[in-house]
Amino acid sequence: MRAMNLPHRLTAMLALCLPLVACADPDLDLESLSLPEGFSIALYAEGVDNARQMALGDEGTLFVGSRRAGKVHAVIDSDGDQQADQVLLIDSGLKMPSGIAFRDGALYVGARERILRYADIESRLDNPPEPEVVLDSLPDEDHHGWKYLRFAPDGSLFIPVGAPCNICDEEDFAEIRRWDPATGAVETWAMGVRNSVGLAFHPDTGELWFTDNGRDWMGDDMPDCELNHAPEQGMHFGYPYCHQGDILDPEFGEGMNCADYVAPELLLGPHVAPLGLAFYTGTMFPADYRGDLIIAEHGSWNRSEKIGYRLKRVFFDEGAVSGQEVFAEGWLQGDSAWGRPNDVLVLPDGSLLVSDDEADVIYRITHGGG
C-alpha cells in the first residue's frame, strides 16, 4: 500500500473553481489516502451535500441522494474530462432521500415511506418535473428508515426496510422487499435483515448480495457486520435472534438456534458499517478485479477505538467468496475521521466513483493511465 499524491488537475482546482462547483476544501487530505500500487484517487465533484447512493443516467448524468440534507443532486461532466463541471439540485425538502436508482429514462428516489419517480429526468435537469409517487406503503419510521434502491435484472426494484430500533422484534420490518413497477405488487424477498444499506446483483448469476449492519451495544468486538447472499426468496438471516451466524442475542436469542438461519457469506468486522457495494465489471483495473466486490465501510460510531472508514475488496472465485482485503483507507487518522465512504459506482470507462457524505464530495479511483 502506498499514499497517493494529489494529481495536478486537483491542485489546479484549488486556484480556479469550476462553474457551480465549490473550491476544494483544504480539509480534504487526499494525500493521506492509500491504495494498492498503480491506483490513484482524485476529486470528481464537491459541494454534493451529504452525498450517499449514486446512480448513472443513460446520458451520463450522475445522480446522488442524501440523508440528512433531504436533497437529490445531478452531477454533470459536460466536457468528458472525468471531472464534474456542475452540481444541480433536482429536489429538496425530502424525507431522507438516501436511496436512488435509474431505469428507462426515469430517476427513482426512496424518500422514507415513499418511492418517487422523476420521468425523463435527463432532458429536464434545469427544470426538474414534479415526481410521481409510485409506492407509498413503506413504513414511516425514521430509525433505519433511509433506503438503498437497486433494480434487479428482471426490472423489479429491491428495497430494504430496516429495523426501527437497535434491537427489537417488530413485524413487517428488518427485511428486503421486491416491488414490481409493472403490477405494483410488493413482496418480501428476505427476512431477518437488521439494516441493509447496500444491494448488488451478481453480473453473471443475477443473484442478490447485500451488506447488513450488526447491532450495537454488545461490546467493541461483537457482532460483526455482514455480507450476505440471497439467491432465492424467503431466506431468514437471523435478526433479532442470531447475529453473525453464531451469536445468540442476549435479549431475543433465548430458545433459538443459529443453525436455523442463513449464515453470512463473510464477516466484515464489528461496527464497520458496510453500506454501498458494487461488483467490478470494468476493464481499467487489473483483470483479477473483475467480478470482485468493492464495499464502502462508513465507519463505527459507538466503538472505543474507531474502525472502518475505508473501502474493502471482497475476492470471488467461481461465484463464491474467497477472501477480503482493505482496498482504500486513510479517511480515518488516529481517532479522527475527515471523510466517510458511503457508496461506490463503476463508470463505463472502468474507473470507480466513491461518495462521501461527511466531506460532501465524490472521488474517482483509476488505475494506470486512467
Query: Mean of the pLDDT values across residues 108-133?
Result: 97
DSSP letter at 165 equals S
Residue % of the chain over a pLDDT of 70: 93
pLDDT of residue 19: 36
Which three-class secondary structure state does DSSP give residue 247? strand
Asked if residue 23 has pLDDT above 90, the reply is no
Asked if residue 7 has pLDDT above 90, the reply is no
Asked if residue 2 has pLDDT above 80, the reply is no
pLDDT of residue 155: 98
Supply the mean pLDDT for the chain: 93
The per-residue b/e assignment along 183-211, b for 16 or more CB within 10 angstroms, e otherwise, is eeeeeebbbbbbbbbbbbbbeeeeebbbb
Asked if residue 218 has pLDDT above 80, the reply is yes
Query: Is residue 308 a contact partner of residue 328, using CB atoms and an 8 Å limit?
Result: no
Pairwise pLDDT comparison (6 vs 135), residue with the higher score: 135
Asked if residue 132 has pLDDT above 70, the reply is yes
pLDDT band at 199 (very low <50, low <70, confident <90, very high): very high
pLDDT of residue 208: 98
Query: Mean of the pLDDT values across residues 37-43?
Result: 98
pLDDT of residue 26: 57
Phi-psi region of 227 (alpha: psi -120 to 50; beta: other; left: phi over 0): beta
pLDDT of residue 16: 29
> All 3 cell numbers of residue 42?
482524485
pLDDT of residue 369: 75
Concatenating the DSSP letter of every residue in 87-155 gives EEEEE-S-S---EEEEETTEEEEEETTEEEEETTGGG-TTSPPPPEEEE--S---STT-----EE-TTS
Strands 186-191 and 235-236, by their bridges, are parallel
Asked if residue 370 has pLDDT above 80, the reply is no
Asked if residue 5 has pLDDT above 80, the reply is no
Distance CA 93, CA 246 (A): 42
pLDDT band at 27 (very low <50, low <70, confident <90, very high): confident
Residue % of the chain over a pLDDT of 90: 91
Which three-class secondary structure state does DSSP give residue 264? coil
Query: Is residue 146 a contact partner of residue 197, using CB atoms and an 8 Å limit?
Result: yes
The label of the residue with cell 483544504 reads 26
Query: Is residue 305 a contact partner of residue 299, using CB atoms and an 8 Å limit?
Result: no
Query: Mean of the pLDDT values across residues 167-193?
Result: 98
How many other C-beta atoms can be found within 10 angstroms of the C-beta atom of residue 22?
A: 15
Distance CA 186, CA 104 (A): 20
DSSP letter at 243 equals E
Query: Mean of the pLDDT values across residues 345-354?
Result: 98
> All 3 cell numbers of residue 362?
465524490
pLDDT of residue 114: 98
pLDDT band at 17 (very low <50, low <70, confident <90, very high): very low
Asked if residue 43 has pLDDT above 60, the reply is yes
pLDDT band at 25 (very low <50, low <70, confident <90, very high): low
Query: Mean of the pLDDT values across residues 128-133?
Result: 97
Name all domains of the chain by residue range, CATH numbers in brackets: 2-367 (2.120.10.30)
Query: Mean of the pLDDT values across residues 147-170?
Result: 98
Q: Per-residue pLDDT tens for 50-97?
A: 999 999 999 999 999 999 999 999 999 999 999 999 999 999 999 999
Q: Per-residue pLDDT tens for 265-323?
A: 999 999 999 999 999 999 999 999 999 999 999 999 989 999 999 999 999 999 999 99
